[in-house]
Amino acid sequence: MEITAHQYDNIKNVNREAHTSISIERYQIFCILYVIATFFHLIKNREMDSDFSMFILTLSGVFLLFKPKSILRFTIFLLLQLLVIFIHMPLVSNHWIFTAFVSATILQALLVHIFNTRSFEINRGDLYETFAPVVRIQLLILYFFVVFHKLNYDFFNIDVSCATMLMKETRGMSLLPLSPAFYAINAYFTIFIELLIPLLLVFRKTRNTGVLIGLCFHNVIAYSSYNGFYDFSSMIFALYFLFADDRFTIKISNTLQHLNEIKQNIADKITLIKNGLSVFNFYNFTLITSLILGGLIVVLLIQFVMKDYVLLLWAAYSCTFIVFYLIAIRKSPIQKYDTRRKLLGLPYVSLAIIPILVIINGMSPYLGLKTENSFAMFSNLRTEGGISNHFFMTPAFQLFDYQKDLVEITHTSDPVLQKSINNNQLITFFDLKQRVSIAHPKEVDYIYKNEYHTFRAGGPDTEGLLNRNPLLLRKILRFRPIDKSGNQSCGH
């Protein structure tokens, strides 16, 4: 049966309405997941009230959760998040740097919409469909560098490999036959999984499988006793939502609607209870006191049983996320049409700016720039001092000399610099200058360019150690200590 032009227009209108409705739901759910990821980061690092900026960021997140459809609240949250990250740079983690790129992308998409429409009336669905394809590209870029940095000789050396170290530190791994052969296989398996996930995400037929494998993989690594990675994993979970199909969105949306109904019923019952407790008597006093003490006892027990009790929250969150995803993709009817406009792409050419910065950030070790927070986490990568352990990226690619200027500390009164002596490591001259200009240690003896140098507080500063590095460089450059031995040990 042929479809008339009128019927075709009706079908297009229905699909357009479905697209708009789903995109709006996607926007609101992503806001919630993004805030949750931020909270896991703040809780993990005990930063929710560590300073005023963190406290305000936490409040703005709570404020957004009460009304996730608000673009204004989301904008305030993103701006505060970027401000907090900038304040704490360069001492921030890889996923926190990547979070900054994501937040900047969303804000740029918002500005593009305002500029193009000449209006502050922004459709949430259109905003989502503008930033989501770009953020998906950035996640694939992240995965590329996570794998690419591991293509070095030390990662496959089981004696120093991060794959070996993290396997040993993962809870429950003692139940497995941890032999040298097992550790060797684990290094290749890590590369295989981290390469497989983005490949599966790219293709529509394998996308759900890719999301599911990724969820399970990042759920498992979050339980490392070396450094609970649930802050990183929660960020990845939020971005996986961008790849999930409409069935998962509908499932979460229906659940949230049901929870709102339950919340309203509870609120009504609390009002009745509050009216009953408004009269002071011995029974009411005993009941309220018992509830407060009982709650404190439960919190103390959780802290006593689990040193990192946030893992309990992570387990509940991650497992619920995975179960919901399984139910959504297995039990719900498969939709014939995917309402998303484009999975990957640049709706506007100007949105290529942030992905390019993500690529530069990942290429930094090979360009002679920073080696920390360049997505080379736990990769055993070394590119400093004119030596590279990468399979095919040689020091010849380096355009800057920061990694070539290495210093060996021989004596110091500074506890931070003392760590390089204790660990038999070298540091960059940039980092030495950074530390001395801030901490003003009483004395530092070091070898630089094969010559012995001495710094004494109040004495001559022949190497200009007290002259602070430029602000922009202080914020974006950070280097890992370098092992003096032949192999690069595992480090973040």
Taking the model in full, what pTM does it have?
A: 0.84
What one-character DSSP code corresponds to residue 226? S
What is the model's pLDDT at position 7?
Answer: 38
**Which residue among 244, 272, 305 closes a domain?**
305
Is 341 inside a domain boundary? Answer: yes
Are 406 and 419 within one domain? yes
Triad 164, 165, 171: Cα angle to 5° = 105
Q: Which residues have C-beta within 8 Å of that of residue 88, sequence separation ≥ 6? A: none
What is the model's pLDDT at position 306?
Answer: 53
Structure tokens at 153: 């000789």
Are 289 and 322 within one domain? no
Distances (CA, A) of 107 to 75, 103, 121: 7, 6, 15
Q: pLDDT, tens digit, for every residue of 21-50? A: 788 889 999 999 999 999 988 887 665 555
Torsion angle, alpha carbons of 481, 482, 487, 492, to 10 = 30
What is the model's pLDDT at position 64?
Answer: 93
CA 370 – CA 276 distance, rounded (Å): 63
Is 387 inside a domain boundary? Answer: yes
What is the model's pLDDT at position 477?
Answer: 92
Is 326 inside a domain boundary? Answer: yes
Domain that holds residue 476: 374-483
Are 100 and 241 within one domain? yes
Cβ atoms 430, 469 nearer than 8 A: yes
Biggest alpha carbon–alpha carbon distance for the chain: 92
Structure tokens at 334: 């498969």
| Alpha-helical segments (H) within 159-226 | 162-169, 180-202, 207-221
Are 201 and 343 within one domain? yes
Q: Is the dihedral of CA 106, 108, 111, 117 positive or negative?
A: negative
Are 196 and 102 within one domain? yes
Are 290 and 397 within one domain? no
What is the model's pLDDT at position 12?
Answer: 44
Are 102 and 211 within one domain? yes
pLDDT tens string, the chain, 492 residues long: the values are 443 444 334 434 444 444 567 888 899 999 999 999 999 888 876 655 557 788 889 899 999 998 888 999 999 999 999 999 999 898 888 999 999 999 999 999 999 988 887 777 888 888 999 999 999 999 999 999 999 999 999 999 888 888 888 877 665 555 566 677 878 888 999 999 999 999 999 988 898 999 999 999 998 888 776 666 888 999 999 999 999 888 878 877 777 777 666 766 665 565 665 555 555 555 555 666 666 666 666 655 655 555 566 778 888 898 989 988 888 887 555 444 455 557 888 888 899 999 999 999 999 999 999 999 999 888 889 999 888 999 999 988 999 999 998 999 999 999 999 999 998 899 999 999 999 888 888 998 988 888 898 888 888 877 778 888 888 999 999 999 888 877 777 776
Distances (CA, A) of 5 to 9, 18, 336: 6, 20, 21
Are 295 and 316 within one domain? no
Is 63 inside a domain boundary? Answer: yes
Is 65 inside a domain boundary? Answer: yes
Q: What is the DSSP string of 369-386?
A: S--SSSS-TTS-----TT
Are 248 and 268 within one domain? no
Is 359 inside a domain boundary? Answer: no
* Closest alpha carbon to 173 in 158, 189, 186: 186
Is 367 inside a domain boundary? Answer: no
Q: Give the DSSP H/E element, type plus range, for residue 425.
A: strand 425-428
Q: pLDDT, tens digit, for every residue of 227-267? A: 668 889 999 999 999 998 888 788 777 777 776 667 666 65
Are 199 and 269 within one domain? no
Is 368 inside a domain boundary? Answer: no
What is the model's pLDDT at position 272?
Answer: 60
| Alpha-helical segments (H) within 306-346 | 310-331
Number of domain units in the chain: 3
Are 43 and 184 within one domain? yes
Are 286 and 341 within one domain? no
**Which residue among 354, 384, 411 closes a domain?**
354
Amino acid, single-letter form, for residue 421: I
